[in-house]
Amino acid sequence: MGFISLVTGKPGASGFGSSSTAEDVTNGLDATQITAIVTGGASGVGAETARVLALRGAHVIIAARNLNAAAKVKEQILSHIPGARVDVMKLDLSSMASVRSFASDYIDRKLPLNILINNAGVMLCPFELSEDGIEMHFATNHLGHFLLTKLLLETMKQSAKESGIQGRIVNLSSIAYLAAYAGGIQFEFLNDKKRYTDRGAYGQSKLANILHANELARRFKAEGVNISVNSVHPGFIMTPLMRHSKSLMKFLKFFSRILWKNVPQGASTTCYVALHPSLKGVSGKYFSDCNEVKPNALATSESLAKRLWDFSEKLTTN
């Protein structure tokens, strides 16, 4: 999708474009046989994704750190969609203990899992280490989702096998992956405060989201697993994610307003990749404005993706 298409909203090959909303791209789709987890579903794009999936009939589990905010989203969904199936569960992706607890609780509920939307994240925050001693962008945006996906994979595989419905995993990345540190991932200096920049750390975590999806897709293909996994760029959207850089973002938005989306438009690519039948069997791809685009060489590097996988395995192994 080029600049003109982004600005004008002109549809791409998929029939959708930057002006399409999540309701547009899922119009007429039946998700009543689907159970989906949306991380970070208590606000912004995550909340809209949860709402639209519920609108199409899916059983939606909002996984969120702020249970009060998540409960309000659930209440709002139920007030507009009588009979919607929405549950709320506690999940703090910056904490491996919380991720393990969530996965254990979910498995104990004996629920199927058809769609996992790895949406939650932090953005441009000051340097901070998680409770596990990991730089916060990397811990929350990548490592928490890496572990969550790993712990729920058997449930997803079993659900796909029993239902015949292809499982789908969607990683929320960002075009900000282009701002990652030189070389992509600072394996040796991940927690080095002296080398830290909020822009580089955020970009690094978003690059990791793409690499994680690509490596997982290769593993699924080798195993013959009926699950696809893709990454998406939702677009430029003013959401609570930008709380650490709100003033800067408002300034930038003033001078680039034609590039920005509203929240329903921001959730469209996620919902398109999660539900649209045209993407059955499509895996290991990167989408923007509801169309496949090719990311840069770092994001498509198999060697970097494999190294990140091994690195992440070591960090999440008890």
In a domain, 270, yes or no: yes
Give the burial class of 296: count Cβ atoms within 10 A of its Cβ; 0-12 exposed, 13-18 middle, 19 or more buried. Answer: middle
Taking the alpha carbons at both ends of the chain, their separation in whole angstroms is 43
Which among 261, 273, 268, 205 has a CA at the least distance from the CA of 235? Answer: 261
Residues catalogued as catalytic: 196
**Confidence class for position 236, pLDDT limits 50, 70, 90:** confident
Residue 230 backbone phi and psi in degrees, to 5: -140, 165
In a domain, 121, yes or no: yes
Token pair 């590039």 is found at: 259
- Strands 291-293 and 286-288 come out as antiparallel
Tell me what the mean pLDDT of segment 266-294 comes to.
Answer: 98
Q: How many C-beta atoms lie closer than 10 Å to residue 7's C-beta?
A: 12
**Could you report the per-residue pLDDT of 287-311, keeping only the tens digit for each?**
999 999 999 999 999 999 999 999 9
In a domain, 253, yes or no: no
Percent pLDDT > 70 in the chain is 90
Q: Which domain holds residue 152?
A: 21-235+262-316
Q: Based on the structure, what is the number of domains in the chain?
A: 1
Q: Please give the helix or strand (H or E) that residue 55 lies within, else none.
A: helix 44-55
Helix spans in 192-267 (H)? 198-223, 246-255, 263-266
In a domain, 244, yes or no: no
- Here the tokens at position 266 are 């921001």
In a domain, 252, yes or no: no
Q: How many C-beta atoms lie closer than 10 Å to residue 109's C-beta?
A: 10
- CA separation for the pair 195, 191 (Å, rounded): 9
**pLDDT for the residue numbered 7:** 45
Whether pTM > 0.85 for this model: the answer is yes
The torsion region of residue 231 among left (phi > 0), alpha (psi -120 to 50) and beta comes to beta
**Could you report the per-residue pLDDT of 170-188, keeping only the tens digit for each?**
999 999 999 999 999 999 9
Token pair 């994704």 is found at: 49
**Confidence class for position 8, pLDDT limits 50, 70, 90:** very low
In a domain, 79, yes or no: yes
In a domain, 56, yes or no: yes
**Could you report the per-residue pLDDT of 54-70, keeping only the tens digit for each?**
999 999 999 999 999 99
**pLDDT for the residue numbered 11:** 83
Does pLDDT of 131 surpass 90? yes
CATH of the domain at 91: 3.40.50.720
